[in-house]
Structure 1
Amino acid sequence: MTAKCQQILTGAGEIFAEFGYEGASMSLIARRAGVSKGTLYNYFDGKAALFAAFVRRKACQELPHAFRSVREDLPPRETLIDVGRAIIALMTSPTALMLYRIVVSEAAHFPLLAQTFWENGPAVAIGTLAKWLTEQSSRGQLRTDDPVFAAEQFFALCQTRIAMRRRLQLPVDMSEAEIEHIATSAVDMFLGLYRAP
C-alpha cells in the first residue's frame, strides 16, 4: 500500500468516525486526507470501495495481533485465554465500536457494508480460531465436531458483560482485572464442553 493510499484511509477513518457512513462525503474525506478529489477517485471509485478498504486495513492491522498465541503452539487453555483477552480488547476498541455502529445503522440501506465488515472481521476471526480448534482436535487436545460453531460460541462468551455495554456507551468496568476475569471464565466454560476426555 502506498503512502498516499494510507494517508487517504487515515483521513477516511476520521471522517467515518465523525460523520458515520451516510454523512461522510468524498469531498470531506479528500479534504481531511489532504488530497484532491481527483486523487481520491484515482485510488477509490466511490465511498463503498473506500469504506471496504478501510475495514480491510483495520482487520489486517488488528487480527494478527489478536491471534499471535495461536501461532506459538501454547497449551490450549493458555492460548484461549490470550485470544480471549485480545478479542475483548479488540471488540471494545474505539475503532471497532465505530465500525460496528456504522454497519448496524446502515446495514438495511447498504447491505454491502455489513458483508464487507463480516468478511474482513468476524469471519476471519472465526475461521482462524476454527482452524486452530481443528488442529487441536486432531492432536487429541480438544473435541469439536463443528469447529466453526465452537469458534462462534467462544467469541460470544468473550462478549459477556463488557461488549454490549460498550456498544451502548453505558458505564462498564474495563479494568485489566475485569477483562482477565471475563477471558478466564469464558475459557473455562468453553473447555468444560470441548476439552477432550
Structure 2
Amino acid sequence: MRVFLRDGFEGASVDEIAREAGVSKATLYSYFPDKRVMFTEVFSIECQRQASEAETELAQTPPAPEFLTYAARRVIRFALSDFGRSLFRLVVGEVSRFPELARQFYANGPGMLRGKLVARLRELCERGELEITDFDLAVEQFVQLAKAAVHDRVMLNLVEDIRPEEIDKSVEGAVTMFMARYGTKR
C-alpha cells in the first residue's frame, strides 16, 4: 500500500513492493497474478477494514439524526485522512490509463460504503424516521453533502487541514438538509 500511494500505480514496481513487504517477487506472484490484482486487493482489504471498524462502533442503528451525524463524520474523517487523500488522488490520476482500477476501487470502497448506508437508511425508513423512495440517490446526496465544505479544498491542497469547527458545521449542515428533505413530518 505504501509503495502504491507513494509511487502511483504505474510507478510502483513489483520489485519495490516485494522489498517493502519483505518477500520475494516470486512469492508475490504466487498470490497475485499481476499488479492490478495486487492493487485491487490491497485497497479492498483496507476499505473493508475501515467499513468493519465503523460497523463495530455502531452495532445498532440509532435515531436518524444521530446515525447521520456519525456517518457524516466517518465520511469526512476518511476524506481528510492521509490514506483517503492519497488513494483518491492516485485513483483519479490513473483513471484514464486504467479505468478498470477505478471501477474496482469504487466497487470495493465508495460503492461498498454506499451499500451499507442504503441498508441503514432502509432500516430508518422501516422505523418511520425517514421517507425515501430512491435510496441510491439519497445516499449519493448525503455523502456529497457531508463532504461539501471540505473535500475540494483538501484535495486541491488549498488548505493544510480543516478546523474542527468547520467539520462540525459541515456535518450539521448535511444532517439538517438531509432531514429536511427525507425526515418524516411527525
TM-score, normalised by the number of residues in structure 1: 0.88
Corresponding residue for 2:96?
Answer: 108
Q: CA deviation at 1:185?
A: 1.1
The amino acid of 1:47's aligned partner reads K
Contact 1:66 1:90 in 2 (8 A): no
Instruction: State percent identity of aligned pairs.
Output: 35
Distance 2:55 2:150 in 1: 20
The amino acid of 2:162's aligned partner reads M
- Superposed CA RMSD in Å reads 1.5
Contact 2:63 2:124 in 1 (8 A): no
Whether 1:96 and 2:84 are equivalent positions in the alignment is yes
Contiguous gaps of at least 5 residues in structure 2: none
Q: Deviations over 1:41-96 (max 9, x none)?
A: 11111110110011111111112334556532311101110111111001121111
Whether 1:120 and 2:73 are equivalent positions in the alignment is no
The amino acid of 1:174's aligned partner reads I
Distance 2:129 2:45 in 1: 34
Distance 1:180 1:65 in 2: 22
Corresponding residue to 1:86 among 50, 74, 94 = 74
Whether 1:131 and 2:124 are equivalent positions in the alignment is no
Distance 1:180-1:69 versus aligned 2 partners, 3 A rule: farther
Distance 1:173 1:38 in 2: 41
The amino acid of 1:171's aligned partner reads V
Contiguous gaps of at least 5 residues in structure 1: 1-12
Distance 1:39 1:20 in 2: 22
